[in-house]
Amino acid sequence: MDIQSTSKPELLIVDDDPLIIDTLSFVLGKDYTVRAAGSRAQVKSLLRQLDAAPELALVDLGLPPTPHRPDEGFQLIADLLAHSPSIKILVLSGQNDEANARYARTLGAVEFISKPCEPDVLKAMLAKARRMAEVEQSSAKVDTGLIGTGFAISKLHQQIAQYATAPFPVLIEGESGSGKELVAQSLHRQGPRAGKPYLALNCAAISPSLVEPTLFGYVKGAFTGATSSRSGYFEDAHEGTLFLDEIGELPLELQAKLLRVLENGEYQRVGETQSRVSNARVIAATNRDLRQEVRSGRFRPDLYHRLSVFSISVPSLRELGEDKVRLLEHYSTLYARQSNVQPFKLDHKSLELWMQYGFPGNVRELRNIVIRLSTKYPSETINSEQLLGEFDWEEPMSGHSDTGQVKDFKTTVEAARKHLQTNKGFLLDEALRDLERSYVEAALDITRGNLSQAAKLLGIHRTTLYSRMQNYAPGMEEGT
């Protein structure tokens, strides 16, 4: 779609039904510059062509190649937030059972809307999402997101203060949504490079073929489409900071070139023989276990050791104890101020539930829950039933009707593991991986693709199941 007026905010619409895209584009086109895509692959291609990601996204869960399952839509939410953490995602889907709605919110969607939806309601929800973004942007200068006084956050602040002034690389490890980029930004702001450029590149959100020219630049004629010479991030960052998010996704052949820059600052533009020198400080982040990636041969050990001169582990929200309440108070006050109302409060029982909940989506999930509660119950006291409606809490509060089934399943898996360990004809790691995948596929088949029910059958949390599915071969995501 052609670029329209730059004065209008950009909205990404993702749906595999052309009629729905045409209708939504017509209804919303007066207020937004609409970008449209019919699949996750098309979204990735579109984002690579844009200088900046759209502010808002309206996505369906049922997308090809598995339009009758929510898997592609869930993965798209994760992809969009990995590419642009500030994007506001609203799900507009016919796959509207409560479990799907909760999991979409856990992943980072700010709202779940069931099809069909009246145009005026949709416009109001998009406008509300825009206001959320504006409030967050206006508070960004004072809100680092690293809020809390507990041991874990205090240790994090100490590490940032300790490492900020050093010129060496830093490796930030932590779960998705835990605030790794906020740590990187704090390292930059608190150090001597604060007045210099800060550039960020998400290695998972860019085509492998574009990583090298993006990082190092290129000369005219270096490849098809290179109609002029262009500097890369290392050159543009100069003596500032270059943040490489999802560093575990960097292709092996580029890892060697990154290592060279880290060792002596030298690099070359694509298509150029002249060496250049960068003094940028590199900060990398990952939600993978890079030690395991090294053992598996997917990440260079010399690059790992070079990147991890300093390492910072960002705690998950479930490790923060009372700081969960401090984050609740911070965000509820922030969004109440936006609406000129008093913040909501939790009653005693709901506050206990808040402390018990694990927040698998970490701070991002907590913030979105607060946004929804602020909208639904402004100035009110929220009870436990109202709060539980916002949680993606698969485990029942008491009892478990599937205990025997889960126990039998675990016994079967344990027997299989013992067999593989004693049979010398197997490659153990590969056999265990194949066995695990077989049970996951069987569980999904039994439950007809329902992730919540499949996770219960397997005795694991839904987010754990989805994470493991992402690590299998592409065929798994395609439902093969």
pLDDT (mean) for 21-32:
94
| pLDDT-above-90 percentage for the chain | 45
* pLDDT at 5 (0 to 100): 40
Question: What is the assigned CATH class of domain 317-388?
Answer: mainly alpha
How far CA 291 is from CA of 304, 318, 345, in Å, comes to 8, 23, 43
Q: How confident is the model at residue 349 (pLDDT cuts 50, 70, 90)?
A: very high
Judged by DSSP in three states, 255 sits in helix
Q: Which of 103, 129, 88, 110 is nearest to 361 (CA)?
A: 103
CA–CA separation, 431 and 413 (whole Å): 12
* pLDDT at 284 (0 to 100): 97
CA atoms within 13 A on the CB side of 128: 17
Judged by DSSP in three states, 424 sits in coil
CA–CA separation, 347 and 381 (whole Å): 6
> Dihedral sign, CA of 271, 272, 275, 279?
negative
* pLDDT at 404 (0 to 100): 41
Domain spans of the chain?
10-138, 151-313, 317-388, 403-477
Cβ 114 vs Cβ 90: under 8 Å: no
252 CB-near residues (< 8 Å, 6+ apart)? 298, 299, 300
Report the chain's mean pLDDT, rounded to a whole number: 83
26 has a pLDDT exceeding 80: yes
* pLDDT at 393 (0 to 100): 60
Q: How confident is the model at residue 479 (pLDDT cuts 50, 70, 90)?
A: very low
In DSSP notation, 147-192 reads: ---SHHHHHHHHHHHHHTT--S-EEEE--TTS-HHHHHHHHHHTST
Of 75-89, 217-231, 273-287, 380-394, the range with the highest mean pLDDT is 273-287
Of 18-32, 436-450, 466-480, the range with the highest mean pLDDT is 18-32
* pLDDT at 147 (0 to 100): 84
What digits encode the pLDDT tens for the residues 317-330? 988 989 999 999 99
Residue of higher predicted confidence among 48 and 384? 384
Cβ 276 vs Cβ 235: under 8 Å: yes
235 has a pLDDT exceeding 60: yes
Q: How confident is the model at residue 470 (pLDDT cuts 50, 70, 90)?
A: low
Judged by DSSP in three states, 274 sits in coil
Residue of higher predicted confidence among 409 and 311? 311
pTM, two decimals, is 0.62
371 CB-near residues (< 8 Å, 6+ apart)? 110, 132, 331, 335
CA–CA separation, 160 and 114 (whole Å): 43
Cβ 336 vs Cβ 344: under 8 Å: yes
pLDDT (mean) for 89-115:
85
Q: For 315-395, list the strands marked E by DSSP.
A: 345-346, 381-382
18 CB-near residues (< 8 Å, 6+ apart)? 38
Which CATH code for domain 403-477?
1.10.10.60
225 has a pLDDT exceeding 90: no
End-to-end CA distance of the chain: 33
Q: How confident is the model at residue 139 (pLDDT cuts 50, 70, 90)?
A: low
What digits encode the pLDDT tens for the residues 408-458? 444 555 555 565 556 655 566 666 777 778 778 777 777 666 777 777 777
* pLDDT at 414 (0 to 100): 57
* Least confident window among 54-68, 163-177, 327-341, 458-472: 458-472
Pairing of strands 276-277, 266-267: antiparallel
What digits encode the pLDDT tens for the residues 361-408? 898 899 999 989 998 999 999 999 999 888 876 533 333 333 344 444
How many other CB atoms are there within 10 angstroms of residue 56's CB atom? 23
CA–CA separation, 130 and 322 (whole Å): 30
466 has a pLDDT exceeding 80: no
Tell me which fold the domain 10-138 belongs to.
Rossmann fold (3.40.50)
Position 427, amino acid: L
Judged by DSSP in three states, 317 sits in helix
82 CB-near residues (< 8 Å, 6+ apart)? 176, 202, 204, 205, 245, 246
Residue of higher predicted confidence among 140 and 194? 194
CA–CA separation, 452 and 106 (whole Å): 13
Return the axis-axis angle of helices 348-356 and 323-339, rounded to nearest 10°.
120
Judged by DSSP in three states, 64 sits in coil
Q: What tokens appear for 190 in the block?
A: 């608190």
Q: Do domains 10-138 and 151-313 have the same CATH topology?
A: yes
Query: Tokens 């569980």 label which residue?
Result: 443
Q: What's the helix, strand, coil split of the chain in %, to 5?
A: 50, 10, 40
Give the CATH H-level superfamily of domain 151-313.
Answer: P-loop containing nucleotide triphosphate hydrolases (3.40.50.300)
Q: How confident is the model at residue 223 (pLDDT cuts 50, 70, 90)?
A: confident
pLDDT (mean) for 2-19:
78
How far CA 187 is from CA of 162, 182, 243, in Å, comes to 9, 9, 10
* pLDDT at 407 (0 to 100): 42
Q: How confident is the model at residue 150 (pLDDT cuts 50, 70, 90)?
A: confident
139-174 residues labelled b (16+ CB within 10 A) or e (exposed): eeeeebbbbbebebbeebbebbeebbeeeebbbbbb
Query: Tokens 């939504």 label which residue?
Result: 24
222 has a pLDDT exceeding 60: yes
pLDDT (mean) for 102-124:
88
Pairing of strands 281-286, 241-245: parallel
